[in-house]
Structure 1
Amino acid sequence: MNHSEDVRRVEITARGGRADIEIEIDGARIDPGAVKAYSVSHLAGQRPEVLLHVADRNETQWAGLARVAVADLPDPGPAAAAFLDAIDPEALERAALARPDLGTEPYSLTKTMLTQLGEWARGL
Structure 2
Amino acid sequence: MKKSLVLLVVALFANVALVSAKDMFPKKNYAKVNQELSTLLNPSSAVGILEKNEVVKVQILVTESGDIVVLHADTDNASLDYYIKESLNYKKFSTNELTPGTHYEFTVNFQS
Alignment TM-score, normalising by the size of structure 1: 0.23
Higher helix share: 2
For CA contacts below 8 A with separation 6 or more, give which structure has more relative contact order. Answer: 2
Alignment TM-score, normalising by the size of structure 2: 0.25
